[in-house]
Amino acid sequence: MADEILLIDKPKGITSFDVIRRLRRQCGVRKIGHAGTLDPNATGLLIIGIGAGTKRLREYLRLPKTYVMDILLGIRTDSGDIAGHVIATSPCPTLNVGQTEETLHDMVGMIELPIPAYSALKYKGKPRYIYARKGIAIEPKLRKMEISSLTLKNIEEIHYRGLTSIVPSIVLKVEMECASGTYARSVAEEIGKRLGVPATLQDLRRTRIGPFTIEQAQPLL
């Protein structure tokens, strides 16, 4: 395969590096990389560099991004997403569109939020998720994150099936346009906090990176 940039629609349940492994086997090329990780539970757009194309990946790292988030209200997990262990539950209040949209609007701009414990950001030379997996508490780190827009797409009442009970919950579908370095899990938890309930990220799909859109991407074979 010629040196190039590929746009891949990452499926759920595999890491971004798993995508690289598959493409290495399919292309027969060792030198492959990506511009911006997606969590295993997330889907959507990955920019892949093959061969000399890997030298161009640095250009794409700081581009703005668009995500569609499904935010589960009434549940909080230790990881900030649905893959983690539930650490708090709470009944959800009745929400209306106007109230929810106002809350989202108030978060647009530069906002300081904690980085998730399960993140690749390093602490004393090791990714934070290493400490989290071992149950070691470390000092939370705050980061300024820039949100360009938060658009409410849907409010759905559901019954979330936990380990021991069924919890009445609400799922907010929200589209977020943001600068690079914004953690969707942190934004989801903050939205819940401002609405007065615990929250976690149920689903995440990246639909745009700079000028590149998910419609241009090809599925991973």
Domains of the chain: 4-61+213-219 (3.30.70), 65-208 (3.30.2350.10)
d(CA 52, CA 171): 43
Average pLDDT along the chain: 90
d(CA 201, CA 39): 11
Residues taking part in catalysis? 39
Stretch 122-141: mean pLDDT, rounded?
76
**pLDDT value of position 85:** 87
What confidence tier does 63 reach under pLDDT thresholds 50, 70, 90?
Answer: very high
Lowest mean pLDDT segment, chosen from 26-30, 133-137, 154-158, 211-215: 133-137
d(CA 203, CA 149): 18
Residue of 62, 17, 32 lying closest to 182 (CA atoms)? 62
Q: How far is CA 104 from CA 3, 122, 127, 164, in A?
A: 42, 30, 30, 32
- Considering only residues 80 and 206, tell me which one the structure prediction assigns the higher pLDDT: 206
What confidence tier does 162 reach under pLDDT thresholds 50, 70, 90?
Answer: low
Is pLDDT of 105 > 70? Answer: yes
Stretch 141-145: mean pLDDT, rounded?
91
Stretch 125-151: mean pLDDT, rounded?
84
**pLDDT value of position 97:** 94
What pTM, to 2 d.p., does this model score? 0.91
Q: Give the number of other Cβ atoms within 10 Å of residue 22's Cβ.
A: 15
